[in-house]
Each structure stands twice: as C-alpha cells, then as structure tokens.
Structure 1
C-alpha cells in the first residue's frame, strides 16, 4: 500500500527544483540585460581610482591611464585640507587664464565614498586641441583631481560618452603606506645621499628632506623635489635648456631668480641639463640656493630640484648625487 505522503515528497522536490530553475533563469536573463557594475581601477598604492574607458591602460610615466591616440587621464592626490583651496580656484573664470575654455559651469559629480564636481571644455596645448574634463573630488583619504584630455581626432576611439561614464566611477580607497607609495613611483632612486622620503604627491611626485620635519614651510631643512612630466608632448630637440630655465624661474613663491651655472650632458640617449642658482622666497623673505637637474628622454622628462640655505652648499652637492641616481622604470 502506498500512502499519500510518499507521493507528495517527489512532487515537493520537483516544485523546489522548478522554482530554483525559474529564479536562476530570471537572474541570468537580468544579468544579460543590465550592464555590469564597473569596478574602479587604482594605480599601484594609489587611493584614487576609476574604471577607465575601453582601450585605456595604466600609464607608465604618471598616475592614471593612457591611450595610443594620445588621450590621457591623470589622477592627482592631495591632502584633505586642499579641498577648500582647490574647489575655490577651479571656476570657469579662473581656469580661463590657463587656456582651459570651460563650457557651461561646474556640475555636481557623484563619487563613491565622497563628493565632487566636474568642468567640461577644451584646451590648446603644444599646437594640439583637446576636449578636456577636470573633476575635483574628495573622500575620506583626501582630495583628488582627475584631468581627462582627448585630442581632436581621437573622439571615436575615446568618445565623450565613455569619458562621462568613467567619471561616474571615481572612487576612493584607504591610503597605502609611504614605503608602498615610494615603491610604486615610476622611477627609482639609487642614492638618497642622506635624505629621506617625506611625502608622495600627485601620485608620482616625491619630496625628500633632511631633518625631523616632514613639512617644512619655513625651508629650514634642505629638501629635494622629484617630478616627472605628466604625459605632455615631447620637448623638441634643442629646446631642453630653454625649458629647464623656464621651469627653474617659475618656482612657486620665488622672486629674483638667478641662474649662476648651466651644464648640458648626455646620459645614454637622454639629454641632461643641470642648473644652479639662487632666489628669494617671497613667503619667508629669505635667500635660497637651488640646483635643478632635468633628464629629457624620448617623449618625457624627469625633474629633480634641490633647495637649501646658501650656507649649506654641501647639501646641494648631495642633492645632485640623488639626481644622478634617479632612473625611470
């Protein structure tokens, strides 16, 4: 004799299997219809990232992404307290002086774990015209600046729609240690010559100092600043000295800048221009001595700037040892 319960059990199992199959089919169908959730890509040891447009890959010479067409996305990280200053200065009127022609005004930009705004427009640089986006964002780790440039003629390879989608994926994550940030820089330093790393900025810049202070606005400690170019057009052959002198003279808060010595050499296939000179720091009213070494190689350059009180000339000599040991990865 067969009772009712023994017949109901197989049918109950069948109903459960059918329901599971229906749910799985529904889920799979929705996955095929709905777009996949974008996952931000972070530069090594970086706390600011985004999902780049198709065809863009992590850049080797700067923190961000690049495309074979010349399009680039540059990620710059700054301290949290930079938000007020940066957001106040990034207005259409203020940026017009830099050549960035903003269309419309600032637009709010949602940011995972923070907030921000974006400005859209165009800019001419080195004879090329670019569609340009600048996003200023902030989150718990700090303030971020995301700059996107797409040269005319590359709009089909990196369309504006893809750039807008990428900006909506900007996100923050926890900050890496200073040692990890230094290890992720696009260059190595073979000889620190008594200096120590104090701060990594903009994802690829490094400040080294000698002394107990990490931040030294009074310039009491000798310091070195290492900065590679950020994907700009290559410096034309023969223009290296002029570019080096222009950058030496345009130091922030520097007046009465004087170049006292220039040396031009080669290193492998690179052109090396070293300048020495003096200036007065307008903020603190003190004279300073400086040395600048610039290495021009292919379509990029590396700049190593050393500062010290004029009485500490030996510190500048050691800064030049550091410059001689810096190599791009």
Structure 2
C-alpha cells in the first residue's frame, strides 16, 4: 500500500511537472512560451514580467511577410544604432516546428542591462519576442532566458473579440463603428462600412491605441507632443491644424487637435481628429480620419468614441 501511495505521489509530481512545462499564452496572444521561474503574466503588456528582478518578456505579432526585412536588420551596425551591442546571433528551431533568429545583446543606452530578440517565422505571422533584464546579473541568467525563448509556441484560434477584450483599455461607445484589426496587442482599428481593408479613407476610420511611453507633464509640452505625433503620421500629409486645445475631462488631462490634411497615397482631402488622454505615466491616443465631405457627420462620432475610452491601467 505504501508502495502504491509513493507511486501515485510520484505520478502526481510528474504530471505537475509536465503541466508546468506547457507554454503559457497571454490573453488573446497567438504567441506563448514557458516563462522563467517566478515570471508572471504582465498586466501592462502582452507578455511576462518580474518587477523585483527588473525583467520583462513582450510579444508583438506582425504580418508573415515582415520576417525577412526584420531579420536583415538584426546585425551589429543596426543594433548599435538602437543602443545594443551584439553578443551572438543564431538560427533556432522552436518547439512547434517554427524557426527563428535569436539575438543576444547588451544594452548601452538609455539603461544598462541585457536584451534578447527572437524573431519567429511562421506562415501565419511573424513574431517578435523581446526579453529584457535591467541592471546586472542578479535578474535571470542568459541560459534561463534563452531556454524560455526557445520554448515559444504558436496557436491559431484567437478571435478578434478576444483580442479586443485583452486591450489595455475599454471602448464603451463605438458610435456605429466596428473593430476590424488589433495591432500589437495595444491598438485597435475601427471603421464604418463593408470593407476591412480601407484605402484612401474610402470609409471613416478611427485608431485607438495605448502607449507605455511616459508623456510630458506641462500643457505646453503636451501640445508640442500631440502636434509632433500628428505630423509624424505617415498616412497623411499637408497637415493644416484648425484647433489644438488642452482641457480636463473626468479628472484627467487631454489634448485634442482637429486638422485638414491630404491622404498620402491618393491625395484625397480629409479631416483628422486626434485626441490624447493622459493617464498618469501613460496615455491613450485616438485618431479619427474621414473624408472632408463627411466631416460634420463623423467628427461627433469620433468624439463619442474618444469620450468613452477607459484605460485599464
């Protein structure tokens, strides 16, 4: 009886070990891995983190055709421009039959530390998995991080609804728009019309996205920040700002811009509304685009969407 009990106990332990080795997938992510010890799912990003060890692993999903271009950029000179010193680069085989390129590097700026980049090649997507440990070697060892990265697995059954639900914000009022795409787990594209792929702003659309970048503090700095973000938008050109206002709403600071512009590829005249909601050390940016002749119809709808966005952080 004792032998049976010991055997049963051993079986339980072996089963627990097997289950522990299964990949863990962040909400709505098609990428997952077996995390290093004591790393937990992050509430801030799509990935895992351990704050005490200043360590984080993040996932980004990109189109399948992006792999070759990104892989060609994982070289010593390109990485150095990003503040990274290349230690090693190797081709790897992953557990689910996918292949990838794994780069190990040290961080030289703005923070000292170590960074690993895994580029995953799959017919359904290109995955970018980034692991980072700030400071010295009291976080995780190179072997621990590399083992975790090589355990990356893919799944292909994540719905658009799951991806929207996992975003770091909630959109309570969609004003007749519908989501068509979630980008990098932080942004969502809405449109009103039958097409999911929109060219030349043939349908009105709005992108809502959260950022982990720390925003400026003063109203004047936020105004400059907001205008720079608008001018950097490569979808539009010939931007002419009509108004650029800072205000407070529901206890938080906002900056909003309404501008005329031209759609870059087609030359179609459009109107842009950009609203940025500052929430502590992060912000949510909302950009609505509509054809000029539909301005009066769609600007109030963009405003309704922006007012309803509630950050989860």
Fold similarity call, TM over 0.5:
yes
Structure 1 residues 250 and 143: alpha-carbon distance in aligned structure 2, compared to 1, 3 A threshold: same
Count of aligned residue pairs for this structure pair = 302
The CA deviation string for residues 247-295 of structure 1, in whole angstroms up to 9 with x for no partner, is 2221134433343321212234432111222333433333432111111
Bigger shift: residues 168-177 or 271-280: 271-280
4+ runs deviating over 6 angstroms? 34-37
Partner of 1:146: 129
**Partner Cα separation in structure 1 for residue 49 and residue 223 of structure 2:** 28
Partner of 1:4: none
8 Å Cα contact 2:55-2:139 kept in structure 1: no
Query: Which residues in structure 2 correspond to 1:1-329 (within 5 Å)?
Result: 38-69=21-52, 70-97=54-81, 99-104=82-87, 106-113=89-96, 114-123=98-107, 127-153=110-136, 155-229=137-211, 231-232=212-213, 234-238=214-218, 239-313=221-295, 314-329=297-312
**Partner Cα separation in structure 2 for residue 293 and residue 203 of structure 1:** 20
TM-score (norm 2): 0.83
What stretches of structure 1 of length at least 5 have no aligned partner? Answer: 1-16
SS at match of 1:109: strand
RMSD: 3.0
Residue 190 of structure 1, CA deviation: 0.9
Structure 1 residues 162 and 217: alpha-carbon distance in aligned structure 2, compared to 1, 3 A threshold: farther
Structure 1 residues 281 and 35: alpha-carbon distance in aligned structure 2, compared to 1, 3 A threshold: same
SS at match of 2:64: coil
Bigger Rg, structure 1 or 2: 1
8 Å Cα contact 2:120-2:126 kept in structure 1: yes
Bigger shift: residues 49-58 or 290-299: 49-58
Bigger shift: residues 200-209 or 306-315: 306-315
Residue 64 of structure 1, CA deviation: 1.4
The CA deviation string for residues 16-44 of structure 1, in whole angstroms up to 9 with x for no partner, is x9xx98x959x87x96xx99963211111
Structure 1 residues 133 and 194: alpha-carbon distance in aligned structure 2, compared to 1, 3 A threshold: same
**Partner Cα separation in structure 2 for residue 210 and residue 307 of structure 1:** 11
